Structure 1
Amino acid sequence: MKQLLSALLAIALFISCSKDKDEVTDYTAQNEKEITDYLAANNLTAQRTDSGLYYIIDKPGEGDNPTINSNVTVIYKGYFTDGTVFDETDKDVKEGEEKKGVSFGLNQVIQGWKEGIPFFKPGGEGKLLIPSHLGYGSKDYKSIPGGSVLIFDITLKSVN
């Protein structure tokens, strides 16, 4: 009987430990506060979607907005609310040189971009403030810690 209890306890412990690794943490409330604090600290006004994405259109651009099925070319800089840059297009381009950006199908990117890029028209500029559930979620992804709010300075160069 003692061996059976020990075996059951070991199995229960194993199952609970392996569940922790697969468990998804909900950062929604924490991300919302982090974004609103960032907006207030930087004196920014943004629009909020029902999903929790915030966006700012600084320059509207001209032409047709892309759709989820569009191929787009975007110039961007991605950073955290503390200003640490984690990704950037054309970072080696010298001042005064034209930035080429990166082209991709809008249906191939994180949910925050799928939802946010269609707010821009070609030539449009602004910011996307993306809570983790619309980015990379609660798990670490490359240099992005799980639960991170992502900010992108966006220029929609073209809809291809």
Structure 2
Amino acid sequence: MPQRNVGLLVAGVAAVAGLAGCGGATSPASGRETAPPAVSSSEPVASAPVEGTTAVRTVKLEVLGEGRAVQPIMYVGDFNGTETGGMTLPWSKTVTLELTPAEQKVGKLVSVVAGGVQTTDGQIAEGSCRISVDGRKVVAAKGLCEYKVK
């Protein structure tokens, strides 16, 4: 191989190795790896919740009415699930949520989808739902109920 081609090959390999990073930062003077830069004190740092600061909430999800659910009842939170098989109405599920300090500030989303229900006279209607937190009704609607528990 001519001398010029060998020089180009070496330069090309060095450029690719430099772009790839080859495992970490190196000190220009010593060629040894250096530690990553420290995080600025002005940047927020995530911390683990302090023990004993969780809040406990009792959440009750309901699909109201009489008759049967003709579509699945779906619910979301710490307790995701689907109830199928023509559930008898009214239907409810009660769960206990433990909220971290962050969840107490921004909320934890819970929801229930009522779907279609068959009324006692055989008609199909949009289901009604309700969410209660610690015994207090926080939302009631048709079809979908959502709430951020804090």
Q: Same fold (TM over 0.5)?
A: no
Looking at secondary structure, tell me which structure has more strand per residue: 2
Looking at secondary structure, tell me which structure has more helix per residue: 1
| Interval of TM-score (by shorter of Structure 1 and Structure 2) | under 0.3
Q: Which protein shows a greater Rg?
A: 2
Higher relative contact order (CA 8 A, sep 6+): 1
